[in-house]
Structure 1
Amino acid sequence: MGTRMTFVTEEEGINVFLKSKEVNFELAVQNPVYRTASIPKNTFLTLHEKLYIMMKGKLGTFNLYQLTGQLTEELHEQLENLGTHGTMELNNLVRHLLYPVTMNILFKKGLFPTDERKIREFYQHFQAYDEGFEYGSQMPECLLRNWSKSKKWLLALFEKTIPDMKTYKSAKDNSMTLMQAMLDIIETERKEEESPSYGLLLLWASLSNAVPVAFWTLAFVLSHPTVHETILEGISSVFGTAGKDKMKVSEDDLKKLPLIKWCILEAIRLRAPGVITRKVLKPVKILNYTVPSGDLLMLSPFWLHRNPKYFPEPELFKPERWKKANLEKLAFLDWFVAFGSGKYQCPGRWFALLQIQICIILILYKYDCSLLDPLPKQSPLHLVGVQQPEGQCRIEFKQRK
């Protein structure tokens, strides 16, 4: 479709992708951002760095653990709605928990609907938007009628609710939500008309990958009885054996349960995005090739994470490999690039990991869980974002006594 892409697969090319000043992230993504969220290119380039720095600070590890209490409370609230036992498609169960929690924390308490009909309507439109996001990022909207309809519905939702988000005050500490901090920057730059578009972009970024990561982590854990048993023993040693209490989760509690974080990172490694991209500004030499300016340089985390030179026995789920990573100092394993790399790594990565850790702790503390279907394969339909499952994967859960 008129776009030249050069894929790098070996060390020299990967280093150029990650470290060269002649390749650029913002220019590579400005077209997809315009198509999927209707943010004009000049606005995106004006605001991106300011918004990124703000998000990196607000969702960085220094501020992050102030959110543990809020995340725990919100998740307890959603788990109450599951009842004492049941059977659900695992992806739906994770959506049921994480959609409302994320929206109520990052945007405004009560933003996620509580009326059953409105919840179904939101699910229908967000899932249609999410599933078509990759096509929408490359193709004219007029060719994607259903996707376009859902995009417009979500933009209208933000247009209607942004005035309430601006004036919202947290009952606990009056701290600003992430969306409020974003709106401040947008208004300072006099780009208020783009506020709904940035709301939509933040919504997609905060939900589209966290849900499949939580899905895969639970699916892998429940498919590996030894890992599952070890996690349950760890949770019991920290929180006790009763499954009904609304216990609190602290930063210290999380540090005592490193295996859960290792499982999340191992699930991400195995189901990482198909591609990440940079735009070549000036010709770059890789091995015997010169990649011309204007090309998109492409790197596949999915391939890279399966290179046995960097990840021995790459197809196996081995959370213990993460013991070697210095996670206390916020360092992943070498050549792990699921969150991107360099200047513009995903600013929400620590928030997503924290949210998924707490979610898994609370589910496994409260319920005995088992999968009713084999672990699904990843779907081959998408290159952007964490891989989705192919086929159903049902879970049975019973409240622990």
Structure 2
Amino acid sequence: MEFISPTVIIILGCVAVLLFLQWKNLRRPPCIRGWIPWIGAGFEFGKTPLEFIEKARIKYGPVFTVIVMGTRMTFVTEEEGINVFLKSKEINFELAVQNPVYHTASIAKNIFLKLHEKLYITVKGKMGIFNLYKFTGQLTEELQEQLQNLGTHGTTDLNKFMRHLLYPVTVNILFKKGLFPTDERKIREFHQHFQAYDEGFEYGSQLPECLLRNWSKSKKWLLALFEKNIPDIKTHKSAKENYPTVMQAVLDLLEMEANEQKSPNYGLLLLWASLSNTVPVAFWTFAFVLSHPNIHRTIMEGISSVFGTAGKDKIKVSEDDLKKLPLIKWCILETIRLRAPGVIARKVLKPVKILDYTVPSGDLLMLSPFWLHRNPKYFPEPDLFKPERWKEANLEKHAFLDCFMAFGSGKYQCPGRWLALLEIQICIILIFYYYDCSLLDPLPKQRKRKVILYSKNKEILN
């Protein structure tokens, strides 16, 4: 009978231990692959993403991978992994978004990677905190003009109301005064195509355009709109202001970089970024405020104390006025906390360790503000609308609460966040100044997008 020598046994044992340690060290997060190759769990995920993430989180824990349209997406739904996501040098933002940018705006990856940082700095500078004073007067005038156009009383769908108010204001300020159409037919056409583009944006960022005929049609319509108007935008000079619009600054940079042919494409990206979040946040802020009578009453008392008796006369809103009405900003930020986007993404360049898992290179690492904002450690009673919690934030120094990730974090936070907050603040002030408002329907669940608003123009009290 032959025996295996002790030396061989020791060697085999060492190999087994090394393989086990390597397996443990390279243990990947649990993976949801779906049943269809390449598509993976795309259909289930696409129907109700937040519900899909919640079920996966309950089943697999705070870190898990989902295969969608040939892409591995590893989700981090709680505070574990935040430091890796935000601080690791092996995590990259630009490589994570280059494919969606290519699909949704037809900007080639090499052009996007070359220009992104320069364009980001340009846009951030134009809409940064030190330039906000330049927009306050414009926003007030534009919003008052649009409110006059929308009438003085009646009932309307709140989502529709916000779109009709904020679409023209945002377009005219960021691109050029008068760019937004005034003809009713053309207004409807703009709304139709932008809404189709916005609602299909997530699918458009992943799927071939040939599979999304209506979305592709709206994308081409919007690109043609910018193609037609870029020359006028470039040469436009405001009668009142001497500084260029945000889009004019973008065009100047594109001209310097010899990429003027991509001007309509970057115009489309700027349009989508400026409208896709501002309108829903304004919608939900009004819905939350009007569904909390004490908060609504306090806001109304504050507006009256700053601007006097409400009525039809035009008012001017200054930075000092806004500082006297902090509750409005708290309401907006609390709304964003509760209605934050499902995920923000980064590309993993080299394997990174999160908890007991190793996330491989090539994965998209997905951080979930939706769940982070519901962590009771940072936000007590997280499901309640409590704007007073924002007293603890140092907003004077432009700092948010810990674990608030709605605008992203790190190097590439949303460059337009301060302008968006300013626009919604002034919007709330003016609507509550000119109108008595109440909801006809109860506050909807998040998946619903519409709620009915009742408004009646206020009487001027002598």
* TM-score of the superposed pair, with normalisation by structure 2: 0.84
2:239 is the alignment partner of 1:171: yes
Deviation track 1:96-143 (CA, whole Å, cap 9, x = no partner) reads 111000000000000000000000000000000000000000100011
Q: Which amino acid aligns with 1:181?
A: A
Selected match of 2:290 from 222, 228, 235:
222
Pairwise mapping of residues 143-292 of structure 1 onto structure 2 (< 5 A)?
Answer: 143-292=211-360
The whole-number CA distance in structure 2 between the counterparts of 1:375 and 1:210 is 19
Say which SS state the counterpart of residue 377 (structure 1) adopts.
Answer: coil
Question: Partners in 2 of 1:8 and 1:173 — Cα distance?
Answer: 45
| Contact 2:78-2:375 at 8 Å conserved across structures | no
Partner of 2:453: 395
Task: Measure, in 1, the Cα distance between the counterparts of 2:85 and 2:443.
Answer: 33
CA-to-partner distance for each residue in 1:44-76, whole Å, 9 max, x for gaps? 001100010111111011111121001000000
Cα distance in structure 2, aligned partners of 1:226 and 1:15: 38
> What SS does structure 2 have at the residue aligned with 1:316?
coil
Give CA deviations for 1:243-274 in whole Å, capped at 9, x if unaligned: 21100000000000000000000000000000
Letter in 2 for 1:395: L
Q: Which residue of 2 aligns with 1:373?
A: 441
Is residue 177 of structure 2 the alignment partner of residue 109 of structure 1? yes
Q: Which of 320, 326, 339 is the aligned partner of 2:407?
A: 339
| Equivalent residues of 2:84, 2:354 under 8 A apart | yes
CA distance in 2 between partners of 1:207 and 1:98 (Å): 8
Among 15, 35, 43, the residue aligned to 2:103 = 35
Aligned partner of 1:295: which letter?
A: D
Which residue in the other structure is 1:364 paired with?
432
Identical pairs, percent? 83
Letter in 2 for 1:269: R
* Separation of aligned partners in 2, 1:20 and 1:391: 37
In the alignment, the residues of structure 2 paired with residue 391 and residue 273 of structure 1 have an alpha-carbon distance, to the nearest angstrom, of 14
Q: How many residues align?
A: 391
Whether 2:421 is the aligned partner of 1:353: answer yes
In the other structure, the counterpart of 2:36 is: none
Identify which range, 282-291 or 271-280, moves more after superposition: 282-291
- Secondary structure at 1:4 match in 2: strand
Asked whether the equivalents of residues 22 and 284 of structure 1 are also in contact (C-alpha less than 8 Å), the reply is yes
**Correspondence for 2:40:** none
Distance 1:327 1:121 in 2: 39
Take 1:344 and 1:355, find their aligned partners in 2: how far apart are those partners?
21
The answer to whether the 8 A contact 2:78-2:371 is kept is no
Give the counterpart letter for 1:399 in structure 2.
N
TM-score (norm 1): 0.97
TM superposition shift of 1:31: 0.1
Distance 2:241 2:74 in 1: 49
Q: Where do 4+ consecutive residues of structure 1 move more than 3 Å? A: none
Aligned to 1:317: 385
Q: Does 1:133 align with 2:201?
A: yes
Structure 1 residue 9: deviation in Å? 2.7
CA–CA distance in structure 2, aligned partners of residues 354 and 228 of structure 1: 19
Indicate the SS of the match to 1:12.
coil
What secondary structure is seen at the aligned counterpart in 2 of 1:11? coil
Aligned residue for 1:91? 159
Q: Counterpart of 2:458 in structure 1: which amino acid?
A: R
Higher alpha-carbon deviation: 80-89 or 3-12: 3-12
Residue 81 of structure 2 is matched in structure 1 by 13
| SS of 1:169 mapped into structure 2 | coil
Alpha-carbon distance in 2 for matches of 1:96, 1:9 = 35
Residues in 1 aligned to 2:77 and 2:199: alpha-carbon distance in whole angstroms: 27
C-alpha distance in 2 between matches for 1:337 and 1:264: 14
**In the TM superposition, what whole-angstrom CA distance separates every residue of 1:17-40 from its partner, at most 9, and x where no partner exists?**
111111001000000000000010
CA drift at 1:11: 2.8
CA distance in 1, matches of 2:184, 2:77: 47
Amino acid at match of 2:227: E
**Is the 2:85–2:367 contact (alpha carbons within 8 Å) kept by the matching residues of 1?**
yes
Greater relative CO, 1 or 2 (CA 8 Å, sep 6+):
1
Counterpart amino acid of 1:182? V
- Residues 47-56 or 254-263, more deviating: 47-56
Deviation at 1:391, TM superposition (A): 5.1
Q: Which amino acid aligns with 1:46?
A: K
Q: How does 1:18-97 map to 2 (within 5 A)?
A: 18-97=86-165
SS of the equivalent of 1:369 reads strand
Question: What's the C-alpha RMSD, in Å, of the aligned pairs?
Answer: 0.8
For the residues of structure 2 that align with 1:81 and 1:191, how far apart are their CA atoms? 38
Is the contact made by 1:373 and 1:392 (CA closer than 8 Å) also made in structure 2?
Answer: no
Is the contact made by 2:128 and 2:418 (CA closer than 8 Å) also made in structure 1?
yes
- Whole-angstrom CA distance in 2 between matches of 1:12 and 1:79: 46
Distance in 1, matches of 2:140 and 2:300, equals 18
Contact preservation (8 Å) 1:269, 1:338: yes
Deviation at 1:312, TM superposition (A): 0.6
Letter in 2 for 1:69: G
Q: Return the offset for 1:378.
A: 1.1
> What is the rounded CA distance, in whole Å, between the counterparts of 1:262 and 1:10 in structure 2?
24
Whole-angstrom distance in 1 between the partners of 2:95 and 2:73:
14
Return the alpha-carbon distance in structure 2 between the equivalents of residues 119 and 79 of structure 1: 16
Q: Secondary structure at the match of 2:132?
A: helix
What is the DSSP-based 3-state SS (H/G/I as helix, E as strand, rest coil) of the residue aligned with 1:5? strand
